[in-house]
Every structure is written in C-alpha cells, then in structure tokens.
C-alpha cells in the first residue's frame, strides 16, 4: 500500500530525453536530469537522435515526460533537431523544451546566449501534433564555436559547468513534480531574430560548412569522419572534406587528437572580397545584358545568396585541392585564427559528476 501511494504521488513514471550534442554540452544537461530522476525513483532514458532512425521514429511511451534538448545554431535548433521534431509522431505527452546556448563569463557574471526562435517554432510544431508544453529552459553552457570567437579557458569552462549543473538540477526537480516553467518566454527579444534564424537555415549554415579543413597535421585516423553525427565529412584527395550537410557542431574540432582541423578565416576573407568586388560586378553586367535588370531588393538578395553559396562551394573545392602544395597549405593554416593558442582552444564538455 505504501509503495502504491508513493507511485501515485509521482507526476511521471518515466522521462524520455531526445538529445543532440556535438561537443557534449547537451549530453551533460541530459545526464544531470537523469541523475535527478534517479534520486526520485523515476525511470529515465536518453536517446541520442544522431544514432537512431530519424525517418521512422518510434513514438514515446504514452505516460512519459518527453524532453528535447539540443544546442542553438543560428538562433534556432540545428536542422538535425528541427527536422526530428517535424517528423516526430503525434502524441499527447507533456513536453519540455531545452537548449544549450553560448554562455560566456565576465568576472563571475555568466553572459547569456540567445535562444532565438527555437522554442517558439518547436513548441508550435509539437502543439499542432497534440503535445502539451510544460516548460522551457535555456542553459548557458560554455560556447564552443571557436570558428567565430576565441576558445574559453579551463577556469571559465569549469565555472560554467558547476553553476549550470546546480541550475539544471533545480529545474529538473521542479518539472519532475509536475510543475510548469515558462520564464524563458520573458526573453521576448528572441522573436526579433526570426529573419536571422531563417537566413542561417537557408544560407548561413551552408557557408559555414565550407570553412573547415584538415591541415598537414592530419594523420588520416578518420576519427572526425566516424564521429560526425550527420555523416557530413568524407574523404576527398585522401583528406577529410566537409560537405554541405555539416551542422557546424564542432565535434570534429573538439575530437581531433592532432588538432589538425582548422577554420579557414584567410580563404573566407579572400573569397568574400573577390565575390563582392569582382564576381557580383561580372554577374550583373552579363545578367543585365542577356536577361533583365533586377529592381526588386528581395529578389536581388535571394539571387545573390544562391550565387554566393554556389561559388563558395566551388571555391572550397579549389582550396582543398591547392592544399596538397606545401606553401599554399602553410599560407592557409597561418591565416586561420584557430591555429593560434589564444583563439584556438579546442572545446570538449567536462565529464559530468
């Protein structure tokens, strides 16, 4: 009778966490939640969506609490998580949406990342599918995007892990009691990022996919190829080659034992200058001559974006070929910020306690 009453008092008998993680931030958050669930005798399961069939998705158990957790890329969930939610079977489960976003540190103040439209868009999709949203929770874990900013030092990483673990545990205890949590919706400025989020989805991610390369330090161990969650890295000319499927999750950079994977800041800058100063001028000259002048600003922007991605893909292939020559390889390496110690600290989430 006592056991029966204890079970009856539980809001949930099981929690199922659907997780995508590149360098380990989202994985750690998922583990912290399962630890709290265990303390409360609640069964838990972490499902790594990179390792399952994302087309024919098994529905969650009817009475379980469902949690989606993923990093933020371009002010939205990355395509792998967004597409997973779009294909997720209909149901009536209670749902919690979480994300890990780019946390930084100033003194002892954790600067928050930006969620963008991840919660709004995913919540809308899931509500249409019949689910009930119970909570939103952004977690300002250490930023790993060293392509765009200097890497964080160990002290900062350790501090952010410790503070966020406490925060996530308190949140987990609350939601596992059946309570709601919508504080994240107070960040109303997120909705202003809709244009940037869609711009990243349709354009930006394809550009970023063509910024990674392997230097001569690469030993062809193939760890990056085998570990890539979306199988975006292939072998071309006997070296890793990043395809347009790349999610820029940074797992390859964090895992490379030789630190041979860099971001090509130098060739990105050169390409951008050539595109804006020469290629666009040539394109419009002949387009206007053989077709018609483009006066509509939106059409012009879309056309230029498609052209930018297409030519950048070709440029990346040329650079990949030229890197077989030692002098060119050295030039490209030493014009990459990630080559240098201050900027290029590789990131891996700390192992959870």
What pLDDT digit, counting tens, does each position of 295-333 carry?
778 888 888 899 999 999 999 999 999 999 999 999 999
- Looking at the DSSP assignment, which residues form a beta bridge with residue 236? 239
Cβ pair 26, 67 in contact under 8 A: no
Predicted local confidence at residue 283, as pLDDT: 83
Predicted local confidence at residue 293, as pLDDT: 73
pTM across the whole model: 0.91
% helix / strand / coil in the chain, to the nearest 5? 50, 15, 35
Taking 80 as the threshold, does the pLDDT of residue 8 lie above it? no
Cβ pair 308, 207 in contact under 8 A: yes
Taking 60 as the threshold, does the pLDDT of residue 289 lie above it? no
Predicted local confidence at residue 290, as pLDDT: 62
Predicted local confidence at residue 316, as pLDDT: 97
Predicted local confidence at residue 131, as pLDDT: 98
* pLDDT band (50, 70, 90) for residue 292: low
Sign of torsion, CA 118 119 120 124? positive
Predicted local confidence at residue 302, as pLDDT: 87
Strand-pair category, 212-214 with 261-263: antiparallel
Cβ pair 235, 171 in contact under 8 A: no
Domains detected in the chain? 2-197 (3.40.50.360), 201-339 (3.30.70.20)
Q: How many CB atoms lie within 10 A of CB 93?
A: 20
Collect all residues with Cβ–Cβ distance below 8 Å to 176 and sequence separation of at least 6. 11, 12, 15, 36, 37, 40, 42, 65
Taking 60 as the threshold, does the pLDDT of residue 6 lie above it? no
């Amino acid at each position: 009778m006592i056991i029966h009453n204890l079970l009856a008092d539980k809001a949930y008998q099981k929690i199922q966490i659907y997780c995508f993680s590149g360098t380990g931030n989202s994985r750690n958050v998922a583990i912290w939640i399962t630890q709290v669930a265990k303390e409360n005798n609640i069964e838990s399961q972490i499902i790594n969506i990179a390792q399952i069939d994302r087309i024919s998705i098994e529905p969650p158990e009817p009475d379980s609490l469902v949690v989606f957790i993923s990093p933020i890329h371009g002010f939205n969930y990355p395509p792998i998580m967004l597409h997973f939610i779009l294909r997720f079977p209909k149901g009536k489960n209670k749902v919690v949406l979480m994300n890990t976003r780019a946390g930084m540190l100033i003194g002892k103040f954790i600067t928050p990342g930006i969620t963008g439209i991840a919660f709004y868009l995913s919540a809308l999709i899931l509500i249409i599918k019949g689910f009930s949203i119970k909570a939103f929770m952004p977690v300002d874990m250490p930023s790993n995007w060293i392509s765009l900013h200097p890497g964080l030092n160990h002290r900062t990483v350790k501090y952010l892990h410790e503070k966020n673990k406490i925060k996530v545990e308190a949140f987990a205890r609350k939601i596992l009691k059946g309570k709601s949590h919508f504080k994240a919706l107070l960040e109303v400025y997120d909705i202003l990022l809709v244009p940037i989020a869609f711009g990243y989805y349709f354009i930006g991610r394809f550009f970023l996919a063509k910024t990674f390369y392997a230097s001569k330090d690469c030993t062809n161990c193939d760890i990056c190829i085998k570990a890539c969650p979306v199988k975006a890295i292939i072998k071309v000319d006997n070296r890793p080659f990043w395809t347009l499927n790349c999610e820029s999750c940074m797992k390859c950079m964090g895992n490379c034992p030789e630190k041979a994977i860099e971001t090509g800041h130098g060739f990105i800058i050169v390409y951008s200058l050539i595109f804006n100063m020469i290629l666009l001028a040539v394109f419009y000259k002949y387009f206007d001559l053989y077709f018609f002048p483009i006066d509509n600003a939106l059409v012009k922007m879309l056309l230029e974006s498609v052209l930018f991605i297409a030519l950048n893909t070709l440029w990346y292939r040329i650079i990949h070929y030229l890197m077989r020559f030692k002098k060119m390889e050295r030039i490209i390496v030493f014009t990459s910020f990630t080559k240098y110690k201050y900027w290029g600290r590789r990131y891996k989430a700390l192992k959870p306690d």
